[in-house]
Amino acid sequence: MNGMAIACFARGFGGALLSRGLAALVAMVLGVMVLQGAGTSANAQQPAGDPAAEAPVQGQVPGNTLGTNSDTELWRAVRQGVAGNVSIPDKNAATLVQSEGELWRSLRNGPLALYASWALLAMVVVLCIFFAIRGRIRIEHGRSDQTITRFAAVERFGHWLLASSFIVLALTGLNVMYGRYVLLPVIGPDAFGAVTLFGKYLHNYLAFAFMAGLVIIFAMWVRHNLPHTSDIKWILQGGGIFSKKLHPPAKKFNAGQKMIFWLTILCGISISMSGWSLLFPYTTHFFSGTFGAVNSVFGTELPTALTVLQEQQLASLWHAIMSVFLICVIIAHIYIGSIGMEGAFDAMGSGEVDLNWAKEHHSLWVEEVLARQGEEKHPPAAQPAE
């Protein structure tokens, strides 16, 4: 009995006993059973020596639809990201499968996001505990009626250009990593989509302001942040942070501020380079060059033949790691420059600081400034000509 006859029989039988919908279902089931039975009979009639009827041996598979060979080497190459040939302009599409993407996603959404959140939370908790124990660092001799110029207008401009751009970059970057878990449930998908899109544009374009700020403060302050013998005493005394009456002498920048400066410069350069790779994808090979230099110096065997996709993935991970690290450093810097120390914000606010504050925290610098001002007011007398 063929499938058509069964269908006719089921339709007539169903007209008397069942509805048309049930008859159609019965006919379909019976037809599939007949077809399966016919396929089984055909296979049973195949000769015993037919390779297609035997179990897969040495890569051979039954049937001729996809061929009789399983090319393990081909699929291993595909899995490892070996590129083929394409006729379209985008040559990056020649890589069919890039397995490192799975590792990148696992690292970014797993350990990186987790440890970064712990680091940020730990920094905030440590500062809260320190403030509860030490309190605000006061001006021990009280405010005087005199001020001294700490930073000129151009110095404050460079600082605030760098600081404001970094704050926006930090917030928009953290939104990319944590926004879907923190912000999305609060403001909803529509608002979150708009905020994230706007934040993306801010992040991309303010990156250049951040780079400009790095160049400005480096050019202005690098000579003041070179190591000095007074830095040793400052470090040994903990900068006077843990004692209410101990303020070690320091020049224009103390050892702690010098650490902040160099961390900002070095991390900022690293963040800028990795960010440049993300802004202009497939145009740089920073990691290949860096790994090659490290291999030549330390004799390591880091991979140097990186594909453009691997470069992008490494740049993304490194950009996030260094950004979170610098955010933690800047959180401590913001604390000590605002609520953590009385009179500190004036340095970058108006540029004028209280003279007693300056003497307590930067005594060597105050001596230099006062001596220079004295020379300007009372220049040495001219020597008579012989």
Helix axes 189-221, 255-279, angle to 10 degrees: 130
Q: For residue 275, how many other CB atoms are within 10 A of its CB?
A: 24
Q: CB within 8 A of 227, min separation 6: which ones?
A: 258
Q: Is 52 in contact with 63 (CB distance < 8 Å)?
A: yes
SS3 content of the chain, % helix, strand, coil (to 5): 70, 5, 30
| Confidence category of residue 383, pLDDT binned at 50, 70, 90 | very low
In angstroms, the CA 77 to CA 97 distance is: 9
Burial of 162 (0-12, 13-18, 19+ CB in 10 A): buried
pLDDT at 27: 47
pLDDT at 60: 55
Q: Between 222 and 284, name the one with better pLDDT.
A: 222
Span 23-37, average pLDDT? 44
Q: Which of 67-76, 179-188, 308-317, 339-348 has the lowest mean pLDDT?
A: 67-76
| Confidence category of residue 76, pLDDT binned at 50, 70, 90 | confident
Q: Which of 44-58, 78-92, 344-358 has the lowest mean pLDDT?
A: 44-58
In angstroms, the CA 361 to CA 359 distance is: 6
Q: Between 316 and 247, name the one with better pLDDT.
A: 316
pLDDT at 29 over 50: no
CA distances from 382 to 271, 372, 377, 379, 385 (A): 54, 18, 14, 9, 9
pLDDT at 166 over 90: yes
- pLDDT tens, 193-204? 999 999 999 999
- pLDDT tens, 262-271? 999 999 999 9
Q: Which of 10-14, 58-62, 88-92, 288-292 has the lowest mean pLDDT?
A: 10-14
Q: CB within 8 A of 274, min separation 6: which ones?
A: 286, 315, 316, 318, 319, 322
Q: Between 17 and 262, name the one with better pLDDT.
A: 262
CA dihedral of 185, 190, 194, 196, whole degrees rounded to 10:
30
At position 349, the amino acid (one-letter code) is G
pLDDT at 6: 42
Domains (ranges, CATH) in the chain?
108-137+146-377 (1.20.950.20)
Bridge partners of 254? Answer: none
- Which among 67, 58, 101, 97 has a CA at the least distance from the CA of 81? 97
In angstroms, the CA 357 to CA 150 distance is: 11
Q: Which of 197-206, 216-225, 307-316, 339-348 has the lowest mean pLDDT?
A: 307-316
pLDDT at 37 over 50: no
For the record, the structure tokens of 374 come out as: 């004295």
pLDDT at 54: 47
pLDDT at 184: 96
In angstroms, the CA 165 to CA 213 distance is: 9
pLDDT at 28 over 60: no
In angstroms, the CA 364 to CA 366 distance is: 5
Q: Is 137 in contact with 241 (CB distance < 8 Å)?
A: yes
Q: CB within 8 A of 234, min separation 6: which ones?
A: 248, 249, 250, 254, 255, 256
Average pLDDT, the chain: 83
Q: Is 244 in contact with 186 (CB distance < 8 Å)?
A: no
Span 26-32, average pLDDT? 44
pLDDT at 249 over 80: yes
| Confidence category of residue 294, pLDDT binned at 50, 70, 90 | very high
- pLDDT tens, 108-161? 999 999 999 999 999 999 999 999 999 999 998 899 989 999 999 999 999 999
pLDDT at 375: 66
In angstroms, the CA 278 to CA 335 distance is: 31
pLDDT at 68: 55
Q: For residue 209, how many other CB atoms are within 10 A of its CB?
A: 16
pLDDT at 21: 44
pTM over 0.85: no
In angstroms, the CA 161 to CA 159 distance is: 6
